Amino acid sequence: MGASAGEGTPTNPPARRTKGQKRLEHILEAIPAVREQLLAALDDLAPDFTAAAIQSAAQAPDPRERNKVAVIERELDVLIAQLEELAARALAEGQRLGTVPKGAGSPWQRLAELGVISDASATRLQDVKDMRNELAHAYPPTSWRALHRSVETLLAELDRYKVRVSDWLDESGIGPG
With contact defined as beta carbons under 8 Å apart, do 14 and 7 qualify?
yes
Cis peptide before 141 (omega within 30 of 0): yes
Mean pLDDT, rounded, for 119-137: 87
CA dihedral angle for residue 145, residue 147, residue 149, residue 153, rounded to 10 degrees: 180
pLDDT of 1: 40
pLDDT of 89: 96
Q: For the segment 138-148, what is each residue's pLDDT rounded down to a tens digit?
A: 666 678 888 99
Measured distance CA(20)–CA(89) in Å, rounded: 7
Mean pLDDT, rounded, for 42-71: 92
What totals of helices (H) and strands (E) does the chain contain, helices first?
A: 6, 0
What residues contact 80, with CB distance under 8 A and at least 6 apart?
125, 128, 129, 132, 154
Measured distance CA(114)–CA(108) in Å, rounded: 10
Q: Residues of the chain with pLDDT > 90: what percent?
A: 73
pLDDT of 3: 44
Mean pLDDT, rounded, for 102-124: 96
How much is the pTM? 0.86
pLDDT of 175: 86
Between residues 176 and 8, which one has the greater pLDDT?
Answer: 176
pLDDT of 143: 81
Mean pLDDT, rounded, for 48-71: 92
pLDDT of 2: 42
Which of 11, 147, 158 lies closest to 84, judged by CA?
158
Domains delineated in the chain: 19-172 (1.20.120)
Cα of 39 vs its chain's centroid, Å: 14
